[in-house]
């Protein structure tokens, strides 16, 4: 979507890139630019941010930097007779900057160094959709063309949304099923009820599998232990009060079996959602761990679903607009191999972070002879 949007206004981006490159080309030009900043009472700069065209996050940083010094760049171009973007091109740059900021935030959430849980998917993607829909009714033709191109690709993937990622959002106690209903009513309108019913059916189908798995390996309840206590000879030797208690426990279990039982999933969905505090971090895994006694089966289901990382793509790859080549060897990896590679990468990164933290407080004493031999192989360093 970013690539499709940037193609629409590539000329405006190129003009800004040229003026930034021109000013940053030599110290004398930067000195003249800083004199203009001084007259305009703006902070001086050592240099302006120049992007790498194949990495759109650097393009965002360049546009953000250039728009902040827009007036100074226009004045510099006027005084030194160099090419400067027109007002229309500056306007287009500010438009794409707004879109790139939304994509930048979502990409950082999806591809953090500590892979976030899958419950974040729906909220972040919905934020991008809301931005595209709001801007699509703009009267500016460039904005319409931009959003239409982005929406084509967005709708393609939105219509093929993985149900398991939606279920992960439902397992977030701050949103549950009501947030999915809110999103689907706005996105699908006429097909809303059918899609929500499909998600609900998929959710209960998955939950029932966990219920069946629990029944295959049940833990003996207290009533079962009581009913299995000793043989007939033992029961006859028990006092009358204990015998009455055992009989009542058996009667109670029979009566409760006749009434329709309310599942953990029904209770969870009917409970109120937790308030979403924007300024406070929420650890969803810790919440399910602390509520495992209330939802024993559902917590096991949440543990497995939320263990799925929302993305296995590093931020460097996500920001790159260069083509990716997937050869026959990588495309034929089995699911178990992919899982092993993802887990191994995460463990290695954790070990690397621990070593990096420890090495920051370690001093290595090396004699001059050893240092000279190293410098001959790797180059002299401090």
Q: Taking residues 266-293, what's their average pLDDT?
A: 82
List the structure tokens of 244: 């009455």
Among residues 357, 26, 333, 298, the alpha carbon closest in space to that of 170 is found at 298
Among residues 10, 70, 69, 9, the alpha carbon closest in space to that of 45 is found at 69
SS3 55: strand
pLDDT at 21 over 70: yes
pLDDT at 381 over 70: no
CA–CA separation, 176 vs 292, rounded Å? 17
Average pLDDT, the chain: 77
Per the rule left: phi > 0, alpha: psi between -120 and 50, beta: everything else, 39 is: alpha
pLDDT at 231 over 70: no
Give residue 260's pLDDT: 53
How far are the Cα atoms of 43, 61, 90, 100, 132 from residue 70, in angstroms, in the given order?
Answer: 14, 14, 8, 18, 26
Q: Which residue has the higher pLDDT, 48 or 276?
A: 48
CA–CA separation, 56 vs 65, rounded Å? 14
pLDDT at 34 over 80: yes
Give residue 228's pLDDT: 39
- Span of 11-25, 61-75, 207-221 with lowest mean pLDDT: 207-221
pLDDT at 98 over 70: yes
Where does residue 303 rank: exposed (0-12), middle (13-18), buried (19+ CB within 10 A)?
Answer: middle
CA–CA separation, 244 vs 203, rounded Å? 42
Q: What sign does the CA torsion over 159, 4, 312, 287 have?
A: negative
CA–CA separation, 373 vs 185, rounded Å? 69
SS3 letters for 308-319?
CECCCCCHHHHH
């Amino acid at each position: 979507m970013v690539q499709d949007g940037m193609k629409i206004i590539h000329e405006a981006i190129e003009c800004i890139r040229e003026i930034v490159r021109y000013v940053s080309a030599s110290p004398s030009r930067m000195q003249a630019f800083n004199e203009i900043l001084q007259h305009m009472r703006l902070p001086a700069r050592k240099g302006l941010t120049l992007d790498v065209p194949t990495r759109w996050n650097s393009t965002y940083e360049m546009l953000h930097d250039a728009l902040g010094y827009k007036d100074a760049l226009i004045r510099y171009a006027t005084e030194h007779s160099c090419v400067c973007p027109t007002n229309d091109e500056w306007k287009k740059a500010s438009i794409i900057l707004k879109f790139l900021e939304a994509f930048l935030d979502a990409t950082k959430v999806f591809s953090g160094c500590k892979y976030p849980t899958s419950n974040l998917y729906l909220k972040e993607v919905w934020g991008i959709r809301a931005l595209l829909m709001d801007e699509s009714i703009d009267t500016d033709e460039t904005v319409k063309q931009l959003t239409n191109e982005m929406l084509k690709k967005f709708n393609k993937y939105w219509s093929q949304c993985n149900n398991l990622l939606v279920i992960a959002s439902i397992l977030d106690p701050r949103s549950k099923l009501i947030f999915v209903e809110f999103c689907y009513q706005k996105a699908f309108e006429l097909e809303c009820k059918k899609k929500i019913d499909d998600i609900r059916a998929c959710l209960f189908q998955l939950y029932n599998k966990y219920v069946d798995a629990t029944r295959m390996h049940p833990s003996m309840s207290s009533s079962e232990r009581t009913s299995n206590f000793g043989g007939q000879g033992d029961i006859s030797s028990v006092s009358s009060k204990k015998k009455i208690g055992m009989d009542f426990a058996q009667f109670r279990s029979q009566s409760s079996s006749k009434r329709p039982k309310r599942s953990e999933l029904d209770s969870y969905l009917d409970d109120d959602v937790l308030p979403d505090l924007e300024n406070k971090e929420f650890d969803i895994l810790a919440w399910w761990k602390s509520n495992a006694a209330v939802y024993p089966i559902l917590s096991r289901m949440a543990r497995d679903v939320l263990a799925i990382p929302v993305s296995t793509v590093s931020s460097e790859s996500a920001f790159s607009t260069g083509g990716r080549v997937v050869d026959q060897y990588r495309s034929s990896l089995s699911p178990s191999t992919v899982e092993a590679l993802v887990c191994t990468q995460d463990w290695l990164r954790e070990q690397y972070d621990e070593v990096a933290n420890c090495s920051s407080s370690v001093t290595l004493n090396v004699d001059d002879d050893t240092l000279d031999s190293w410098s001959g192989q790797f180059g002299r360093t401090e």
